[in-house]
Amino acid sequence: MKQKELKLGWCGGRSIKSSLEREICDLLSTKGIPHFHRPRRFQVALNKNYVGAYSPTIIIRGKGREGKTLVIEAIEELKPLQIKKIASFREIFSQDFFLVVITNEKCIKGLPTDIADDFFIKKDLQEFIERILA
Protein backbone atom coordinates (compact mmCIF):
# COMPACT_ATOMS: atom_id res chain seq x y z
CA MET A 1 0.00 0.00 0.00
CA LYS A 2 2.78 2.46 0.84
CA GLN A 3 4.30 2.03 -2.60
CA LYS A 4 0.96 2.82 -4.30
CA GLU A 5 0.41 5.90 -2.10
CA LEU A 6 3.84 7.26 -2.98
CA LYS A 7 3.21 6.70 -6.68
CA LEU A 8 -0.12 8.57 -6.62
CA GLY A 9 1.15 11.39 -4.44
CA TRP A 10 -0.25 13.58 -1.72
CA CYS A 11 -2.59 16.56 -1.42
CA GLY A 12 -2.94 18.69 1.69
CA GLY A 13 -0.96 16.21 3.75
CA ARG A 14 -3.22 13.26 2.81
CA SER A 15 -2.24 10.40 0.52
CA ILE A 16 -4.10 9.93 -2.75
CA LYS A 17 -5.55 6.41 -2.73
CA SER A 18 -6.65 5.87 -6.35
CA SER A 19 -5.92 7.06 -9.86
CA LEU A 20 -9.48 8.41 -10.09
CA GLU A 21 -8.98 10.43 -6.89
CA ARG A 22 -5.69 11.75 -8.37
CA GLU A 23 -7.48 12.82 -11.56
CA ILE A 24 -10.26 14.58 -9.63
CA CYS A 25 -7.71 16.28 -7.37
CA ASP A 26 -5.66 17.48 -10.34
CA LEU A 27 -8.72 19.00 -12.03
CA LEU A 28 -9.88 20.70 -8.82
CA SER A 29 -6.38 22.08 -8.20
CA THR A 30 -6.01 23.30 -11.79
CA LYS A 31 -9.29 25.21 -11.47
CA GLY A 32 -8.28 26.65 -8.08
CA ILE A 33 -11.05 24.89 -6.15
CA PRO A 34 -10.05 24.38 -2.50
CA HIS A 35 -10.72 20.80 -1.42
CA PHE A 36 -9.82 18.38 1.35
CA HIS A 37 -9.02 14.66 1.19
CA ARG A 38 -10.46 12.54 4.00
CA PRO A 39 -10.63 15.46 6.46
CA ARG A 40 -12.57 13.56 9.11
CA ARG A 41 -14.28 10.30 9.95
CA PHE A 42 -17.96 9.78 10.51
CA GLN A 43 -19.56 6.99 12.50
CA VAL A 44 -21.98 5.07 10.29
CA ALA A 45 -24.25 2.08 10.89
CA LEU A 46 -23.22 -1.13 9.16
CA ASN A 47 -26.22 -3.02 10.53
CA LYS A 48 -28.31 -2.85 13.70
CA ASN A 49 -25.46 -4.17 15.88
CA TYR A 50 -22.32 -2.69 14.30
CA VAL A 51 -20.95 0.71 13.38
CA GLY A 52 -18.01 1.64 11.20
CA ALA A 53 -15.95 4.66 10.26
CA TYR A 54 -16.49 6.44 6.95
CA SER A 55 -14.10 9.05 5.63
CA PRO A 56 -15.20 10.81 2.41
CA THR A 57 -12.70 10.82 -0.45
CA ILE A 58 -12.91 14.59 -1.07
CA ILE A 59 -14.88 17.40 0.57
CA ILE A 60 -15.52 20.88 -0.85
CA ARG A 61 -17.21 23.27 1.53
CA GLY A 62 -20.30 25.15 0.35
CA LYS A 63 -20.35 23.84 -3.24
CA GLY A 64 -23.19 21.32 -2.96
CA ARG A 65 -26.80 22.16 -3.69
CA GLU A 66 -28.37 24.66 -1.29
CA GLY A 67 -24.91 25.58 0.01
CA LYS A 68 -24.29 22.15 1.53
CA THR A 69 -20.81 20.72 1.81
CA LEU A 70 -20.04 18.67 -1.29
CA VAL A 71 -18.78 15.14 -0.71
CA ILE A 72 -17.09 13.49 -3.68
CA GLU A 73 -16.72 9.74 -3.56
CA ALA A 74 -14.38 8.23 -6.18
CA ILE A 75 -15.27 4.59 -6.84
CA GLU A 76 -13.08 2.54 -9.17
CA GLU A 77 -14.38 -0.87 -8.13
CA LEU A 78 -17.43 -2.11 -6.27
CA LYS A 79 -16.61 -3.03 -2.68
CA PRO A 80 -19.69 -4.01 -0.63
CA LEU A 81 -18.40 -2.57 2.67
CA GLN A 82 -17.49 0.75 1.04
CA ILE A 83 -20.93 0.93 -0.61
CA LYS A 84 -22.65 0.18 2.73
CA LYS A 85 -20.66 2.94 4.47
CA ILE A 86 -21.47 5.50 1.77
CA ALA A 87 -25.18 4.60 1.85
CA SER A 88 -25.26 4.83 5.65
CA PHE A 89 -23.46 8.19 5.59
CA ARG A 90 -26.00 9.60 3.14
CA GLU A 91 -28.89 8.27 5.18
CA ILE A 92 -27.58 9.88 8.39
CA PHE A 93 -26.03 13.13 7.10
CA SER A 94 -28.03 14.10 3.98
CA GLN A 95 -29.26 17.30 5.65
CA ASP A 96 -25.71 18.69 5.76
CA PHE A 97 -23.91 17.09 2.82
CA PHE A 98 -24.52 16.73 -0.92
CA LEU A 99 -22.95 13.44 -2.02
CA VAL A 100 -21.67 12.85 -5.55
CA VAL A 101 -20.24 9.56 -6.78
CA ILE A 102 -17.75 9.63 -9.62
CA THR A 103 -17.07 6.25 -11.14
CA ASN A 104 -16.52 4.34 -14.35
CA GLU A 105 -19.13 2.93 -16.73
CA LYS A 106 -18.66 -0.60 -15.41
CA CYS A 107 -19.25 0.29 -11.74
CA ILE A 108 -22.16 2.66 -12.22
CA LYS A 109 -24.33 -0.24 -13.38
CA GLY A 110 -23.83 -2.01 -10.04
CA LEU A 111 -24.40 0.95 -7.73
CA PRO A 112 -27.71 1.44 -5.90
CA THR A 113 -29.43 4.57 -7.21
CA ASP A 114 -30.11 5.87 -3.68
CA ILE A 115 -26.45 5.82 -2.61
CA ALA A 116 -25.80 9.41 -3.76
CA ASP A 117 -27.46 12.68 -4.69
CA ASP A 118 -25.78 12.68 -8.10
CA PHE A 119 -23.56 10.45 -10.25
CA PHE A 120 -20.90 11.23 -12.84
CA ILE A 121 -18.95 8.93 -15.12
CA LYS A 122 -15.19 9.50 -15.18
CA LYS A 123 -15.35 10.72 -18.79
CA ASP A 124 -17.68 13.54 -17.65
CA LEU A 125 -15.32 14.94 -15.00
CA GLN A 126 -14.91 18.24 -16.83
CA GLU A 127 -18.69 18.77 -16.83
CA PHE A 128 -18.76 18.04 -13.09
CA ILE A 129 -16.00 20.61 -12.43
CA GLU A 130 -17.86 23.20 -14.53
CA ARG A 131 -20.96 22.69 -12.37
CA ILE A 132 -18.93 23.33 -9.25
CA LEU A 133 -17.62 26.56 -10.74
CA ALA A 134 -21.09 27.76 -11.82
User: What tens digit of pLDDT does each residue of 52-107 get?
Assistant: 999 999 999 988 888 899 999 999 999 999 999 999 999 999 999 999 999 999 99
**Average pLDDT score over residue span 98-124:** 94
Q: What is the pTM of this model?
A: 0.88
Residue 45: closest CA among 76, 81, 79, 10: 81
Structural domains present in the chain: 2-133 (3.40.1350)
pLDDT band at 12 (very low <50, low <70, confident <90, very high): confident
Q: Which helix (H) or strand (E) holds 24?
A: helix 19-30
Predicted confidence at residue 66, as pLDDT, reads 85
